[in-house]
Amino acid sequence: MARKKGYPEHANHERWLVSYADFITLMFAFFVVMFASSQTDKGKAHQVSESVKKALEQNQFASAIAGILGGTADDKGKGNAMMRGPGGARTGSEEPKTPAKVAELLPSQKFLNESLKKEIETGKVQVHMSSRGLVVSLREAAFFSPGDDTISAPAYPTIGKIAETIRQLPNPVRLEGHTDSVPIHNSRFRSNWELSAARSIAMLELLNGRFEIPRQKLAVVGYAETAPVDTNETAEGRARNRRVDIVILNQSGLTAESPQAASKPSPFAEGKR
């Protein structure tokens, strides 16, 4: 049908509302997404806040930071990450050594007191606890000939009982030879130093060869007459001083340098038995 002439075309002035509505819809969707994201971030932030609060309450914050940075923390929470961080210098050329494992020795002392009851009563062996560890003293007269480092065969069963205890423990063991103050000079040994060291070595060879105690677990020391447990002015005192001590070390004993440094006097010196 032909448009009638004389009437102007009607202009639609409300078309902009369509575009505006689309824009508002997009903005609404945008802010909904942003709001949802912010709620997730709040949840994470709350978790982080709780973790930091817990670390501070348990005094773990400084150590945690030190672990991340690769350093250590002092009592003020300050670390030394430069010492261990990437490219940092080390204080030493070697990594720290893992401390040797040690076990409680009181049960072993009780066991040896029971299993060596006869030897203890006859004065051949003495068992006591010192600050260095468990000490088993073997009197020369029962285990060695005078001036010699050969262990008497009849003494093997006694040493076997001690070896069984050593085998059950992770603790290191020191074999310490001692003499009296009377100088020795025979065809084999030129001094008491050589004799005391030789007896320690003989004990090591027996424990390792016959009783299968690992050599890595044993150390030998010769003290000659420098660590007496009794006077050297009497024959009885000198007899107590001539001995081999098997020392099963505790944690303190691992760093001990000598019997005088940390141990209390042997019960051999406490009186006649």
Which DSSP helix (H) or strand (E) runs through 41? helix 16-57
3-state helix, strand, coil in the chain (%, to 5): 45, 10, 40
Query: CA-CA distance, 263 to 267, in Å (whole number)?
Result: 11
What pLDDT shows up at residue 99?
52
Higher pLDDT: 15 or 95? It is 15
The whole-chain average pLDDT of the chain stands at 77
Q: Domain 106-270 carries which CATH code? A: 3.30.1330.60
Which DSSP helix (H) or strand (E) runs through 176? strand 173-178
Per-residue model confidence as pLDDT tens digits over 8-67: 555 566 666 777 777 787 777 777 667 666 665 566 556 656 655 565 455 554 444 444
Tell me where in the chain the CATH 3.30.1330.60 domain(s) lie: 106-270
Listed residue (149, 143, 168, 140) closest to 248, CA to CA: 168
DSSP for 18-36 reads HHHHHHHHHHHHHHHHHHH
In which band, very low, low, confident or very high, does the pLDDT at 264 lie, cut at 50, 70 and 90? Answer: very low
Tokens at residue 268, please? Answer: 């051999």
Per-residue model confidence as pLDDT tens digits over 212-247: 999 999 999 999 999 999 999 999 999 999 999 999
CB 183 within 8 A of CB 192: yes
Least confident of 9-13, 85-89, 102-106: 85-89
